[in-house]
Structure 1
Amino acid sequence: MERQITPFQALERALEVAGSQSALARICGVSQTAVWKWVQSSKRLPAEHVLKVEAATGVSRHLLRPDIYPIEHHAVPPVALPTDDCMAILPRRSIARQSNSKAVLDGRSAA
């Protein structure tokens, strides 16, 4: 398992893959001096360049800027209305409320 690297280390890795500060500057559409400043000041890659650098170097946006692109661990599943199998065990009052909600969502009157 790879240890988590800092955003600055990810920038250094992208720089290695690109081959030079000038090459990374061309990818980002900035001057080589701008890239030099990022490296010398141990800064993070500016947000507007993250996706271009990821596409060109393969260094993940999650590593380059975890503050903007966090790794999502769990997706919330969508909520479904009860099926016919559930109707027998749900109280009638709950079924009526859900039916009215579905009617409103479909654009019909709940009356």
Structure 2
Amino acid sequence: MINQAIHRAIQTVGSQKKFADLVGVSQPNVWCWLHGKKRVSPEKVPAIVEATQGEVLAHEIRPDLPDLFPHPINQ
């Protein structure tokens, strides 16, 4: 199953490799995020938001952590 938030992030920056470079991880790690093999660590969430210039929001990347990354409507 494709992680839609990561998919959008990759599309926003252009490629898995470019996304990986911007976020500070390896391209295979991005592939694992995309395909649900690994979860994005909470430490990397802000880098993803920054790399996508806010196109992908923190709560979309880790919706399972609402206390750490609350949905804007629920704040």
> Mean Cα displacement is larger for which, 28-37 or 52-61?
28-37
Task: Count the aligned residue pairs.
Answer: 67
Deviation (angstroms), 1:25: 0.7
Identity, in percent, stands at: 42
Cα 1:51–1:33 shift into 2, 3 Å: same
Equivalent residue number for residue 61 of structure 2:
64
TM-score (norm 1): 0.52
> How far does the alpha carbon of each residue in 1:46-77 deviate from its partner, in whole angstroms, 9 at most, with x for none?
22211011012021101111222122625xxx
Equivalent residue number for residue 18 of structure 2:
23
> How far does the alpha carbon of each residue in 1:66-92 deviate from its partner, in whole angstroms, 9 at most, with x for none?
222122625xxxxxxxxxxxxxxxxxx
TM-score (norm 2): 0.72
Which residues of 2 match residues 63-102 of structure 1 at below 5 A? 63-68=60-65, 69-71=69-71, 73=74
Cα 1:70–1:32 shift into 2, 3 Å: same
Greater length-normalized contact order (CA 8 Å, ≥ 6 residues apart): 2
Larger radius of gyration: 1
Partners of 2:28 and 2:37 lie apart in 1 by 14
Q: Is the 8 A contact 2:23 2:51 kept in 1?
A: no
